[in-house]
Amino acid sequence: METTKFVLCFILLVHTQVSSTELDNALESFIASTMSKSSGKSNTDAIQNLFNLYNKQYNRKIRTTNEEKLRLDSFNKTLNMLIEHRRQGDKTYTLGLNNHSDWTLDELMKLNGARIPEGKVPTTNAKAGERMMTWDGKVATSRASLPTWYDYTMVVASGTKIPVIQSIKNQQACGSCYAFATICLLEFQYVVQTKSTLILSEQQVVDCSKSTSGCNGGNFINTFNYIQSNSWQVNTASYYPYKNVAGKCLFKATAPGVRFSPLLYNTVSSNNVVGMQQALIYYGPLYVAFFAGSNSSPTYISILNKFSSYQGGIWQPNGCPTSSSTRNHAVVIVGYGVDTVTNIPYWKVRNSWGNTWGEAGYFRIRRGVNMCGIESDAYYIAKRA
Ligand SMILES: *[C@@H]1O[C@H](CO)[C@@H](O)[C@H](O)[C@H]1NC(C)=O
Ligand SMILES: *[C@@H]1O[C@H](CO)[C@@H](O)[C@H](O)[C@H]1NC(C)=O
């Protein structure tokens, strides 16, 4: 019995790897042959073959003719973009096929669920004289000395082997990025405070927080306020799993979960890169929002499409707005460094689109120029010291 299971797993593994290489290879030869043609005339058969391979690798079900046409059209647009990106050459980031390659603009737009609060919001909930505890249980008395490189995905809770950052998650087709970003900060607090791991429920935030809008977006402050109003209680994700749609609130205080002691939050104000690095090193990952593209102009559409096809490197698309109000996608900064290939300073950022997107679920974005508004304001949380 054990042997059979092992063999089955092994075959599945080998099978997936083969089909992945097959698609990658097919894409490479398609791009090469298209780029070598001077006429720019596209080959319908080659596109169809690639599309069939894609459907197989990404487990697309048999669909109606109309649906099939719509998906092929989106997929073809992605191919055209990949080719154009290669033609332009010399970019600091690469693009490729992934689970988003056949999505429509509207579907991609829906993922951008960061809503920037209107009007003035308090930069902290700490009262005068109240201090925050650093992640390793100290009170910061001076400025942190800044290493050239830092990465929480490689950090464990002091005295343990327990990683402070949990595996990448997937918001699927729901605008719940704000819930994933906030829960990442809470899971970090759980590890550093208890020296053990607990995977917490984004669905609870999506369903129960009245001041955010479920799958239609939300922001940090309102999510934080919800957690506070719920007496800092969050159920586990295994008790309250992710459903990809908003529904009735099923939070239960007596079910598996955590009750945090009161948390404080603080904000690093706009364009304060060193302040963000200090806060990151002392207190933990930072909740940020940035502009991930939209459907409102050709440049913004191009940013939307390229970001969804991002595969690796330093993200710095042309024409990305830095204004605070255009930001629409919430993510978590977990580190920073300087790219060894391009010498560009970057933030390492955790996305919530699964671990097959980007650099194993993460991306790196240019640091120091408020790229796409990512340095507009950053939130961090901690225990009261
Ligand atoms: C793919 O896009 C190209 C460029 O816009 C177009 O010429 C071609 O007809 C499209 N092919 C399919 C199969 O949709
Ligand atoms: C992949 O995309 C399909 C739709 O194209 C969607 O239904 C599915 O949830 C996606 N899977 C993940 C893991 O994001």
Atom 4 of ligand 1, nearest CA residue: 80
pLDDT in tens, 158-167: 899 999 999 9
pLDDT-based confidence at residue 3 (cuts at 50, 70, 90):
very low
Across the range 258-283, mean pLDDT stands at 97
pLDDT in tens, 305-343: 999 999 999 999 999 999 999 999 999 999 999 999 999
Burial pattern 135-169, b for ≥16 Cβ within 10 A else e, equals beeeebeeebeeeeebebbebebeeeeebbbbebb
Across the range 94-101, mean pLDDT stands at 96
Q: Is the pLDDT of residue 17 over 50?
A: no
pLDDT in tens, 279-288: 999 999 999 9
Structure confidence at residue 118 (pLDDT): 82
Q: Which atom of ligand 1 is nearest to the CA of 48?
A: 13
pLDDT-based confidence at residue 139 (cuts at 50, 70, 90):
very high
| More confident: 37 or 350 | 350
Q: How far apart are CA 183 and CA 185, in angstroms?
A: 5
Give the percent of the chain with pLDDT over 90.
86
Q: Is the pLDDT of residue 16 over 50?
A: no
Across the range 27-44, mean pLDDT stands at 80
Q: Which of 98, 99, 222, 351 is catalytic?
A: 351
Q: Is the pLDDT of residue 39 over 80?
A: no
pLDDT-based confidence at residue 40 (cuts at 50, 70, 90):
low
pLDDT in tens, 168-202: 999 999 999 999 999 999 999 999 999 999 999 99
Atom 14 of ligand 1, nearest CA residue: 73
Q: Is the pLDDT of residue 19 over 80?
A: no
Structure confidence at residue 143 (pLDDT): 86
Structure confidence at residue 93 (pLDDT): 97
Q: Which atom of ligand 2 is nearest to the CA of 356?
A: 13
Looking at the CA of 40, name the nearest ligand: 1
Q: Is the pLDDT of residue 6 over 70?
A: no
86's CB contacts (< 8 A; 6+ apart) are: 31, 35
Q: Is the pLDDT of residue 2 over 60?
A: no
Structure confidence at residue 134 (pLDDT): 97
Output the CA angle 75-79-81, nearest 5 degrees. 115
Q: Which of 177, 208, 215, 372 is catalytic?
A: 177
Structure confidence at residue 312 (pLDDT): 96
Query: Which among 204, 210, 227, 355 has a CA at the least distance from the CA of 287?
Result: 227
Pocket of ligand 2, beta carbon within 6 A: 99, 103, 170, 172-173, 354
Structure confidence at residue 104 (pLDDT): 96
Across the range 269-280, mean pLDDT stands at 96
* pTM of the complete model: 0.93
Atom 6 of ligand 1, nearest CA residue: 42
Q: How far apart are CA 187 and CA 202, in angstroms?
A: 11
pLDDT in tens, 119-134: 888 999 999 999 999 9
Q: How far apart are CA 326 and CA 241, in angstroms?
A: 31
Tokens 């598996």, located at residue: 256
Q: Is the pLDDT of residue 14 over 70?
A: no
**β partners of residue 314:** 364
361's CB contacts (< 8 A; 6+ apart) are: 168, 350, 351, 353, 354, 355
Atom 10 of ligand 2, nearest CA residue: 172
Query: Which among 130, 380, 384 has a CA at the least distance from the CA of 267?
Result: 380
177 flagged as catalytic: yes
Q: Which atom of ligand 2 is nearest to the CA of 244?
A: 9
Q: Which atom of ligand 2 is nearest to the CA of 71?
A: 5
Looking at the CA of 43, name the nearest ligand: 1
Structure confidence at residue 36 (pLDDT): 84
Structure confidence at residue 37 (pLDDT): 76
355 flagged as catalytic: no
100 flagged as catalytic: no
Atom 10 of ligand 1, nearest CA residue: 76
Name the helix (H) or strand (E) containing 365: strand 362-366
pLDDT-based confidence at residue 141 (cuts at 50, 70, 90):
confident
What value does the mean pLDDT of the chain take?
A: 92
